[in-house]
Chains A and B, each alone.
Chain A
Amino acid sequence: DSGVTQTPKHLITATGQRVTLRCSPRSGDLSVYWYQQSLDQGLQFLIQYYNGEERAKGNILERFSAQQFPDLHSELNLSSLELGDSALYFCASSVSTLDGNTIYFGEGSWLTVV
């Protein structure tokens, strides 16, 4: 158990809909990362937050948005969903440089768009 909690674990929704994925980082971790992994693909970095502020942005679509709240949990919002958005979405957290930049992953949220 990495200590990173993601909900929901599985989600099935229709095209055009909007979903919210939730992540609770490890206790004490200030950074939260979101990654997308499509079937048999690598991990695509979406976005990173550090202590509530956006720190880095990757290949995140405009239909997607994220935020990190004062209690450090984070949410990834996916809207106007398309079939191609079906993927495993990982949240990860780290305490930043104090731990050699090691990031710890949650178990992921499986999103299926039908």
Chain B
Amino acid sequence: AQTVTQSQPEMSVQEAETVTLSCTYDTSESDYYLFWYKQPPSRQMILVIRQEAYKQQNATENRFSVNFQKAAKSFSLKISDSQLGDAAMYFCAYSSNNNDMRFGAGTRLTVKP
């Protein structure tokens, strides 16, 4: 079964600084997708960024970028120029054509002013 592991229950960053959230996953499939979702205090689940496993280039969305290491099965999220509004729970997720989407346990990010 596919598993997603987020080893950092909590992280904190100073406003305007950069932070990296870690995620590893386990799969035997070669074609799959990886995601980061953000859950602010409102509890709404918001898609932050998506990576297709067949793409070598790391995905980027404004201040958010990923470091996708397929061989290591690692998918970290880097947030640059952190803002107070980035404070949230961040979930890493895995999905493939043969499976539903599975989530990690989440990392709670605190942004200090």
A residues 8-65 in Cβ contact with B at 8 Å? 33, 35, 37, 42-43, 45, 48, 55-56, 58
Interface residue from B46, B52, B99, B103 paired with A43 (Cβ < 8 Å)? B103
Bound-complex Cα distance A105 to B38 (A): 11
Bound-complex Cα distance A103 to B45 (A): 10
Residue A102 interfacial (CB < 8 Å): yes
A101 near B97 with CB under 8 A, answer yes
B residues 91-113 in Cβ contact with A at 8 Å? 91, 95-97, 99-106
B17 to chain A, nearest CB (A): 26
A residues touching B (Cβ–Cβ < 8 Å)?
33, 35, 37, 42-43, 45, 48, 55-56, 58, 88, 90, 92, 97, 100-105, 107-108
B33 near A100 with CB under 8 A, answer yes
Interface residue from B33, B43, B106 paired with A101 (Cβ < 8 Å)? B33
Residue B25 interfacial (CB < 8 Å): no
Bound-complex Cα distance A108 to B35 (A): 20
B residues contacting the other copy or chain, number (CB 8 A): 22
A52 to chain B, nearest CB (A): 16
6 extra interchain contacts, Cβ-Cβ under 8 A, other than A45-B102, A105-B37? A33-B101, A45-B100, A100-B33, A102-B33, A103-B95, A105-B46
A103 near B103 with CB under 8 A, answer no
Residue of A nearest to B51 (CB): A100
Bound-complex Cα distance A34 to B15 (A): 35
- Determine the chain A residues whose CB is within 8 A of the CB of B91 once the complex forms: 42-43
- Determine the chain B residues whose CB is within 8 A of the CB of A43 once the complex forms: 45, 91, 103
Residue of B nearest to A48 (CB): B100
A42 near B104 with CB under 8 A, answer yes
A88 near B100 with CB under 8 A, answer no
